[in-house]
Amino acid sequence: MRKPVIAGNWKMHKTVSNALGFVKELKEIQLPSDVETVLCAPFLALPAMVEETRETGIGIGAQNAHYEEQGAFTGEISMPMLQEVGVSYVIIGHSERRTYYNETDESVNKKTKAAHAHGFTPIVCVGEVLEEREKGQTGEVVTSQVKAAFQGLSSQEMKKTIIAYEPVWAIGTGKASTAQDAEEVCSLIRKTVAGLFDQSVADEVRIQYGGSVKPENIASFMEQPDIDGALVGGASLKPDSFAALVKAASAGGNS
């Protein structure tokens, strides 16, 4: 059984005090233990959040990191810096990073390798823009991104990687993909991983859906055989909403 994973991506929201207030509220809610619960916060909040969530089962992740360990990269954060803070996850290749900050398939691959080298669980994002979807290029685009992202990884590294399928047109728009459409693409992702490695590796890899996921619609996604959780934006910003997502995913693991 693949353990479901619900990861909140706060993007550029919440000060350190806001983040701590959120975590303290969330700790008061009984979260199911059969779901992997992750909060990916702005860099400044990470040390305090790691400390506040010790022994809670809540994982803390960064939203980005550089692939080099150090150097003249003004404004960047390295994997060793995150490692020292105690972060466990790092989002790589989110569509906003690709769109606004020139993230490429090559840098996604380098960052994924660097994340594994430093013991992180990478959450690697793939997905098509609206124009590509309308032209019927979704499969081609996503397959290409998957192949590029995981080139050179070992089977063990691949098994520890989380893939997030996020159709770019559904992020922050309120327009979620249908569960059936999302399943079709997530199934294709799993088949692509099987082609790169083997079926046993693909069977262990967890694939999330992301894009306007809410407590009201998450159940339909979790019912799909190849969807193992969600990478959530806006609905992760309030403790009760985020907790509702985690509870909805409970016992939703796929075999």
Q: How does pLDDT run along the chain (255 residues), one tens digit per residue? A: 899 999 999 999 999 999 999 999 999 999 999 999 999 999 999 999 999 999 999 999 999 999 999 999 999 999 999 999 999 999 999 999 999 999 999 999 999 999 999 999 999 999 998 889 889 999 999 999 999 999 999 999 999 999 999 998 777 666 768 999 999 999 999 999 999 999 999 999 999 999 889 999 999 999 999 999 999 999 999 999 999 999 999 965 454
**Is 106 an annotated catalytic residue?**
no
Query: Would you kindly state where each structural domain of the chain is located, as residue ranges?
Result: 5-249
* Annotated binding-site residue numbers for substrate: 9-11, 172, 212, 233-234
Distances (CA, A) of 83 to 87, 88, 179: 6, 8, 36
User: Looking at residue 253, what is its pLDDT?
Assistant: 47
Query: pTM score, two decimals?
Result: 0.95
Please tell me the predicted confidence (pLDDT) of residue 255: 42
CATH number of 5-249: 3.20.20.70
Residue pointed to by tokens 């660097």:
114
Choice among 94, 96, 103, 132 that is catalytic: 94
**What's the full length of the chain, in residues?**
255
Residue 134 annotated as catalytic = no
CA 41 to chain CA centroid, nearest Å = 12
pLDDT of residue 1: 83
Q: What is the pLDDT of residue 106?
A: 98
Contact 235, 245 (CB under 8 A): yes
First to last CA, the chain: 4
